[in-house]
Amino acid sequence: MYIIIGGVGMVGMELARRLVENKHDVVIVDADERVCDKVYAELGVVAINGNIARIETLTEANIDKADCLVTCTGNDTDNLACAILAKSLGVPQVICRMRNPSYENAYKLVGVTSVVRVTDLMVNLMIVEIEKPKVRRVLAIGGGKADIYSLVVPEGARVAGHTVQEIARDPGFPPDSIFIAVFDRDKGEVSIPRGQQIINEGDQLLMISPAEQIKKVTDFLFG
């Protein structure tokens, strides 16, 4: 994927690092030239010194190629302006960091794909939002040691037609991730998954997984 990140503080830097490790094409934009130099030196990605809320800067970043734009500056006004421009230019996914909750409706009105509150600003969550938009973190448990996720089994998924037992026994499935509920959307029925229950396309799954394992889980389930 071609991903633009606007605003490179600690979160933006780590997000860029993780996306590069996951073999995505990353472009960062920051108003501080020293930050751009640092990111380029450490990660080797294209680093543009400019204002992410200006169309000229987005054009320089090849916004027309972007599959996703993440704006995580410390200013909601800049993030919102960037989101408006990105949506107007046809970017499929726009993810924004929100500092002030009073901006939430504004973000929703402009069609932002996902709004990440400062209190929820975890890089693993952003990675999931970018790469697997059908996955949603529902709740953190155990003091943040694991999370409950909701995901929908897409058409053609490798797990469709297989039992829970078969999936759990596959060496590619993380052993510390567990199915806790299955919602059959066609029948409108919720069940606690047993070993012989078959997972079908379109089923909504609830599962517990450590945050660092969720990408491996989704790659396996959706592959």
10: Cβ–Cβ under 8 A, 6 or more apart, which residues? Answer: none
* Predicted local distance difference test score (pLDDT) of residue 222: 79
Q: Shortest CA distance to 204 belongs to which of 220, 100, 221, 5?
A: 221
Q: What is the DSSP string of 40-83?
A: HHHH--EEEES-TTSHHHHHHTTGGG-SEEEE--S-HHHHHHHH
Answer whether residue 121 shows pLDDT above 50.
no
Q: Is 33 helix (H, G, I), strand (E, B) or coil?
A: helix
| 190 neighbors 182 (Cβ within 8 angstroms) | yes
pLDDT tens per residue across span 2-50 = 999 999 888 888 889 989 988 999 999 999 999 999 999 999 999 999 9
pLDDT band of 143, cuts 50, 70, 90? low
Bridge partners of 205, per DSSP, are: 151, 182
Please tell me the pTM assigned to this model: 0.63
Helix 10-21 with 123-131: angle, nearest 10 deg = 50
Whether residue 125 has pLDDT greater than 60: no
How far is 204 from 182, CA to CA, in rounded Å? 6
What Å distances lie between residue 31 and 8, 76, 194, CA to CA?
A: 9, 15, 53
Tell how strand 114-117 and strand 189-191 pair up. unpaired
**Domain architecture of the chain: domains with CATH:** 2-131 (3.40.50.720), 135-222 (3.30.70.1450)
Tally of CA atoms within 13 A in the half-sphere of 107 that contains its CB: 22
Q: What percent of the chain has pLDDT over 70?
A: 91
| CA max distance for the chain | 57
The pairing of beta strand 189-191 with beta strand 68-71: unpaired
